[in-house]
Amino acid sequence: MILPHTGRALADAAPVPYWLDRPERPDPLPPLTGAHTADLLVIGGGYGGLWAALLAKQADPDTDVLLVDAGTCGWAASGRNGGFCSASLTHGLANGVARFPGEVAELERLGRENLAAIAATVDAYGIDCDFERTGELAVAVRPYQLDGLAEDAELARSHGHDVRLLDRDEVRAEVDSPTYLGGMWDRDRVAMLDPAKLAWGLRRACLDLGVRIHEHTRVTGLRGDAAAVAASTAGGVEQAPGVVRARRVVLTTNAFPPLLRRLRAWVVPVYDYALMTEPLTPAQRDAIGWRNRQGLADTGNQFHYYRITRDGRILFGGYDAVYHHGNRVAPALEQRPATFTALAEHFFTTFPQLADVRFSHRWGGVIDTCTRFCPFFGTAYDGRLAYAAGYTGLGVGATRFGARVMLDLLAGTDTPLTRLALVRGKPLPFPPEPVRAAGIHLTRWSLARADARDGRRNPWLRTLDRLGLGFDS
């Protein structure tokens, strides 16, 4: 049943990402034209590419680094996400234990160091991205989910995490929703931040260090020879095509159609959607509490993630994860009215005391999903190109680690990072179409059915679990 105020709440929501719809957005840099050379070419101006460019320059200021992006830096996933910056490199501890049991302790240590390094970079370069070490609060909204939270807390504590289990009254004292039955507060391994401001701040830091950046520059093809990799770029109505010859290349195009054919089997683009409210009034803030400003997520298979911004808005996203046949990616898919209506319904169910709140923005974006739900790595063109992909929605923090791995792979030396099973292995490939789309849609249906049946997984989901492919939305 659609609540009567849902339509009114969505009526004036701008169909653009809130984070990118602000005057702080920098003016675009000129596109690349003509012929260029570089020591390091970075393809993709999201977090992964920006971190790679910054780290390369920090390691050797004389390295000539050139970065190109088909849009502007941070316009895709890096400017559309919820701003949860996690220490996890494996899409959560449980996934890491299941897939990399022999090195999960090392991956946990590297993840902690990675989050600390992000905080240090934000401080060192004066990046004003509202970085807050508030942690994340996972909440149970159905009785069966309480046992799962207890198991998660036990696992987390066994690996040294600072977590606290909360009963119904305790969790509602943190954030007041009548749907909450309990919670687990991970207090030290998640920071909240403004995702677009982080991307823009990294972009500025790169420029200050001498990185050459060209925006609105789409790479259309790669060609290698004995000395370099050449990247061809598209022209336009008032733009000549270009080419860059580089000794080394970092490829970070993630969910978008890959320039390497081999990546097509390992990554599928899945659309995720979010709403942003108008700023809450003081009375509305008092009605929900949320004084500790944690990131929140419920614990269903089809879960919601939400957080409060510096200016008192609430971002509410997730639930639907939509795949389009043939790995289709298109601007028109960023708007999905049925999903926005569902999210608004779920928001008002979660916070009925905010029934008069309206939404200012609604948007979607594409996530690079792989079958192991955490990044994978590799090289091409005789080791002159390195890639990372498959972050599956948890890349705000992990992309910096991914950039370090790619630079180590390009150096061609044996390092502690390149020896990791996480780095050496690959996910299982997705099947070709039409089996790919059928399997993904069956999985989505099965996950929704499990949520409606107190978490009981049907034979299809149990089969995926046995194959190591069990996942949520």
Radius of gyration over alpha carbons of the chain, in Å?
22
Identify the CA nearest to 207 among candidates 195, 215, 219, 217: 215
| DSSP conformation letters of 431-468 | PPTTHHHHHHHHHHHHHHHHHHTTT---HHHHHHHHTT
- What confidence tier does 153 reach under pLDDT thresholds 50, 70, 90? very high
Predicted pLDDT of residue 463: 85
3-state secondary structure of 33: coil
**φ/ψ of residue 401, rounded to 5:** -60, -45
- What confidence tier does 473 reach under pLDDT thresholds 50, 70, 90? very low
Average pLDDT, the chain: 94
Higher pLDDT, 217 or 455: 217
Residue 231 has pLDDT above 80, yes or no: yes
Predicted pLDDT of residue 188: 87
- What confidence tier does 79 reach under pLDDT thresholds 50, 70, 90? very high
| Residues forming beta bridges with residue 163, ordered by sequence position | 186
Predicted pLDDT of residue 470: 58
Q: How much is the average pLDDT of 177-197? A: 97
Tell me the C-alpha distance between 42 and 59, whole Å.
16
Residue 238 has pLDDT above 80, yes or no: no
How far from 383 is each of 56, 64, 409, CA to CA, in Å?
17, 19, 7
Residue 464 has pLDDT above 70, yes or no: yes
Residue 1 has pLDDT above 70, yes or no: no
Q: How much is the average pLDDT of 163-188? A: 97
Q: What is the pTM of this model?
A: 0.95
Cβ contacts of 430-434, under 8 Å, gap ≥ 24: 430/265, 430/266, 430/268, 430/371, 433/325, 433/326, 434/325
Rounded percentage of the chain residues whose pLDDT exceeds 70: 97
Tell me the C-alpha distance between 82 and 78, whole Å.
9
Predicted pLDDT of residue 353: 96
Residue 366 has pLDDT above 90, yes or no: yes
pLDDT digits (tens, 9 = 90+) for 91-121: 999 999 999 999 999 999 999 999 999 999 9
Predicted pLDDT of residue 237: 55
3-state secondary structure of 339: helix
Rounded percentage of the chain residues whose pLDDT exceeds 90: 88
Q: How much is the average pLDDT of 418-429? A: 96
